[in-house]
Amino acid sequence: MRKKLVALLMSAAMAIGMLSGCGSSSKSSTGSVVSGNDAGGQTTMSVDGDYTTLTVWTFIELHQEFYTAMAEKWNKEHPDEKVKLVLSNMQYDDMHNKLSLALESGKGAPDIADIELGKFPSFTSDKDIKLRDLTDVIEPYKDNIVQSRLDIYSKNGKYYGLPTHVGTTVAFYNTELLQKAGIDYTTIKTWDDFKEAGIKYHNATGKEFATAETTAMWMVNLMLAQKGGDYIDADGKVDVNNDKVAEVLKYIKDMQDAGALGVVPGGQPDNEEAYPYYNDGTYAVQIMPFWQTSRFTSYMTDLKGKVAIAPVPKFGDNDATWTIGGGGTGTAVIASSPHADLAAKVMAFIKLSPEANEEVWNVLGFDPVNTSVWTDTSLTQNPDNKFVQFFNTKPFDALLQMQDSIGSLKSLSESAAPSINNIFCTQVLTNIFENGADIQSELDDAQQQLENELDS
């Protein structure tokens, strides 16, 4: 009896598996709109008439929807050059690994791939770069695009990636908490002001103002860029133990020692373990790229109406830059693809055109790379927009103030960048801010390790 039951259960389970499996696969091939794709997997558009099929690899679910919607716009405007995108969503590390292995073996690569900024340099470091030079398709849009965001995906003056957003680093202040502690965030102009406010906040509340990052470098990179420093020297050689890097870390360490900064669980504001600590007011301030807005609306929902977006503090008026772009994904076209030219044109439209950039703000809540969108107040101050509703300042005000001074670190597009980032985020920052290690000797160690690693 029991055996029969078990057998029955098992075959039922299998049948469910098979049936629903077939069901959903047919769904994705017939559905004309791919929106509402809850998770992962492969999505295909349906297109009438003649078209070219382009395969796209991404690791960001939302991009599938976005690319499909924009490709449909493209098809409408270019009836003789219709495309059908077949998108595969893969795991982040896995997608990058597979892409590099596919490019190396010359087998199984897609036509188009999203490559994250941190991984990009490893695709442009070889002698023969396997990505298509996109300079020609960027040209028509170039005047309105934030230059530093093109530069991070470039090599020897050629552009290989289409940026998704600027990721302008801004300050997010919890105004409710700050008011209680008697702090007016609009008076914070310099890092010294920031530090002072942090100490005042700590004395008033016993809590920490902001975080010293241990698993990311949003604030560290910002401060280093403001000082005009970098992780490489003028010849492009790794130089992570230079004075400017040490000064920045020292400055942050001083703030930590003064009680202004703590180390948030997860080690940085953009982390699942960290969100609750901002959400419940344990920490009050985040120095983060603009796209953190979407994390607020998804994971820090209790803060609605309590957060102001402001320009980041600077060291002084002689800073090399006011802010920098942080994070990002460059869309690349594989040079060996038989449809590389078409793919490049289509993706330039999907990523850089004004209509695409409107959607980048509307749907994703990112600061668009095409700044022609930034001044369109019907868009940026649209009262129906959930990001506009969430924050108690106009999100683009801070951006427009810093618009002409959005820089970058040169090292981000160097082949050493992934290794530098890795050693800082797994070792240097943890040891300094969590284990109290000596800054200079940690940096010297890191320099030594990087030289070993990159030499051989």
CA–CA distance, 111 with 53 (Å, rounded to integer): 9
CA–CA distance, 383 with 361 (Å, rounded to integer): 13
The secondary structure element, H or E, covering residue 78 is: none
Q: Taking CB under 8 A as the rule, does residue 39 contact another protein?
A: yes
Q: Which is nearer to another protein, 259 or 265 (CB)?
A: 265
Q: Taking CB under 8 A as the rule, does residue 265 contact another protein?
A: yes
Q: Which of 32, 46, 53, 97 binds another protein (CB under 8 A)?
A: 97
Q: Which is nearer to another protein, 229 or 325 (CB)?
A: 325
Q: What character string, x for contact with another protein (CB under 8 A) and - otherwise, covers 51-90?
A: --------xxxx-------------------------xxx
Give the N- to C-terminal CA distance of the chain in Å, as an integer: 66
Q: What is the DSSP string of 294-334?
A: HHHHHH-GGGTT-EEEEEPPBS-TT-S-SEEB---EEEEEB
**What is the nearest approach in angstroms of another protein to the Cβ of residue 266?**
6
Count of residues in contact with another protein, rule CB under 8 A: 67
Q: What character string, x for contact with another protein (CB under 8 A) and - otherwise, covers 272-291?
A: xx-xx--x------------
The secondary structure element, H or E, covering residue 356 is: helix 354-359
Identify residues 336-395 at the interface with another protein (CB under 8 A): none
Q: Which is nearer to another protein, 319 or 445 (CB)?
A: 445
Which window, 14-22, 203-211, 246-254, 392-400, contacts another protein (CB under 8 A)? 14-22
Q: What is the DSSP string of 129-154?
A: --BPP-HHHHGGGGGGB-HHHHHTTE
Cβ pair 340, 113 in contact under 8 A: no
From residue 381, alpha-carbon distances to 25, 391, 394 in Å are: 40, 11, 7
Q: Taking CB under 8 A as the rule, does residue 299 contact another protein?
A: yes
**What is the nearest approach in angstroms of another protein to the Cβ of residue 88?**
4
**What is the nearest approach in angstroms of another protein to the Cβ of residue 95?**
9
Strands 154-155 and 158-159, sheet pairing: antiparallel
Residues in contact with 92: Cβ distance below 8 Å, sequence separation at least 6, in sequence order: 59, 116
Q: Which of 32, 179, 298, 375 binds another protein (CB under 8 A)?
A: 298
CA–CA distance, 287 with 187 (Å, rounded to integer): 16
Q: Which is nearer to another protein, 142 or 386 (CB)?
A: 386
Q: What character string, x for contact with another protein (CB under 8 A) and - otherwise, covers 404-433?
A: ------------------x--xxx--xx--
Q: What is the DSSP string of 10-24?
A: HHHHHHHHHHHHHHH
From residue 436, alpha-carbon distances to 241, 258, 332, 440 in Å are: 17, 14, 41, 12
Counting Cβ atoms within 10 Å, is residue 99 exposed (0-12), middle (13-18) or buried (19+)?
Answer: buried
Q: Which is nearer to another protein, 276 or 354 (CB)?
A: 276
Q: Taking CB under 8 A as the rule, does residue 454 contact another protein?
A: no
Q: What is the contact surface with another protein in residues (CB under 8 A)?
A: 3, 6-7, 9-10, 13-14, 17-18, 20-25, 27-28, 36-42, 59-62, 88-94, 97-98, 100-102, 104-105, 107-108, 122, 214-215, 265-267, 272-273, 275-276, 279, 298-299, 422, 425-427, 430-431, 434, 449, 452, 456
